[in-house]
């Protein structure tokens, strides 16, 4: 019996998974990030090759009947020179089957649900919702990046946390939430105006998206800080709006959640509750993108009844 392979190539890591056609896991591999928009394409492709080689260790790569590469930044492979690098890495791992590339959203949806249709909502550093039909992404809402959007994301929460701390310093009205933001920024004690200047400097010292590092402070203080709780409510409203915008009237297909905020309570609890109430649909959580990609590969071989990964 042959087997299939799936990969989840993100910005920070790449995971490969080999499955038997009955859903049994045969091998797994991990390497560095393989998003060709955030890494040099030759480095990204090399990481795909490394993850594949590790996952196929001890297995006959020639028995792989189908493979799917789920990738953040997959549009970059429309450039022939970039695509050639990834094809070379694929073949270099011993694979003879075609390399099918899908978006990370498609792989994530497949990891959370076997339904061919539905919505995937990404709530991580950024935010985006996508409509899936026939296992393929057909439309998106949001995903504009930190400058133009990403409402409800970790970036958005982190930025609001810093803005709230600055406002509290202006009023000389510090609470535990503000103190936590100042500690995370490395701002020492002192006069409020001095600390205000230091916080502005610290926040602007890194790339804007790095403001996402303050997001955990919002969820940690939501139970005791009305300000933090208000930010969680705002994030939930924005994320629910994103998901709802991809849905058709009376749509009962599942909604699959992915991203770091999906596991951050109390935001995750409120998000699931509001999505269920507004969309009247099952709300599921993505497990691992590589498993979803591998299952999509199995569907190519045995059809919709392909067993889910064990």
pLDDT tens readout for residues 225-252: 999 999 999 999 999 999 999 998 889 9
The pLDDT value given to residue 92: 96
For residues 165 and 75, membership in a common domain is answered with no
307 — pLDDT class (breaks 50, 70, 90) = very high
The answer to whether the beta carbons of residues 275 and 283 sit under 8 Å apart is: yes
Q: How many domains does the chain have?
A: 2
With 80 as the cut, is the pLDDT of residue 1 above it?
A: no
For residues 90 and 127, membership in a common domain is answered with no
For residues 192 and 118, membership in a common domain is answered with yes
**Is residue 307 in some structural domain?**
no
For residues 298 and 155, membership in a common domain is answered with no
For residues 182 and 273, membership in a common domain is answered with yes
Distance from C-alpha of 214 to C-alpha of 93, rounded to nearest angstrom: 40
For residues 129 and 275, membership in a common domain is answered with yes
**Is residue 24 in some structural domain?**
yes
For residues 131 and 87, membership in a common domain is answered with no
Q: List the domain range (segments joined by +) for residue 16.
A: 3-97+287-302
For residues 170 and 250, membership in a common domain is answered with yes
For residues 68 and 170, membership in a common domain is answered with no
35 — pLDDT class (breaks 50, 70, 90) = confident
For residues 64 and 28, membership in a common domain is answered with yes
Q: Between residues 260 and 166, which one has the greater pLDDT? A: 166
- φ, ψ dihedrals at 42, nearest 5°: -70, -35
For residues 221 and 132, membership in a common domain is answered with yes
Mean pLDDT, residues 144-159: 91
Is the bond leading into 266 cis (omega within 30 degrees of zero)?
A: yes
pLDDT in tens, 59-116: 999 999 999 999 888 888 999 999 999 999 999 999 999 999 999 899 999 999 999 9
Mean pLDDT, residues 190-212: 94
For residues 80 and 179, membership in a common domain is answered with no
Q: What is the CATH number of the domain that holds 31?
A: 3.30.420.40
- From 48-57, 111-120, 145-154, 227-236, the region with the lowest mean pLDDT: 145-154
């Amino acid at each position: 019996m042959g087997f299939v392979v799936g990969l989840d190539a993100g910005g920070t890591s790449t995971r490969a998974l080999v499955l038997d056609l009955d859903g049994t896991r045969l091998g797994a591999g991990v390497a560095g990030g393989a998003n060709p928009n955030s890494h040099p394409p030759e480095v990204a492709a090399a990481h795909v090759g490394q993850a594949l080689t590790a996952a196929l260790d001890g297995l006959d790569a020639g028995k792989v009947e189908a493979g799917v590469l789920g990738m953040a930044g997959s549009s970059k492979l429309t450039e022939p020179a970039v695509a050639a690098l990834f094809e070379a890495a694929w073949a270099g791992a011993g694979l003879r089957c075609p390399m099918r590339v899908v978006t990370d959203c498609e792989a994530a949806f497949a990891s959370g649900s076997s339904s061919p249709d539905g919505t995937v909502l990404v709530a991580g550093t950024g935010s985006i919702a996508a409509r899936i039909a026939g296992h393929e992404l057909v439309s998106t809402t949001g995903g504009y990046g930190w400058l133009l959007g990403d409402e409800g994301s970790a970036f958005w929460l982190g930025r609001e946390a810093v803005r709230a701390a600055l406002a509290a310093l202006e009023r000389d009205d510090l609470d535990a939430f503000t103190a936590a933001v100042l500690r995370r920024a490395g701002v020492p004690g002192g006069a409020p105006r001095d600390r205000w200047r230091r916080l502005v400097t610290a926040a602007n010292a890194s790339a804007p998206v790095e403001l996402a590092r303050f997001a955990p402070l919002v969820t940690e203080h939501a139970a005791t800080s009305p300000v933090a709780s208000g930010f969680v409510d705002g994030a939930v409203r924005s994320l629910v709006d994103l998901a709802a915008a991809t849905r058709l009237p009376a749509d009962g297909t599942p909604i699959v959640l992915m991203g770091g905020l999906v596991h951050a309570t109390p935001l995750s609890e409120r998000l699931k509750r509001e999505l269920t109430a507004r969309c009247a649909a099952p709300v599921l959580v993505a497990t691992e993108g590589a498993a979803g990609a591998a299952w999509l590969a199995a569907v190519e071989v045995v059809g919709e009844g392909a067993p889910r990964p064990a």
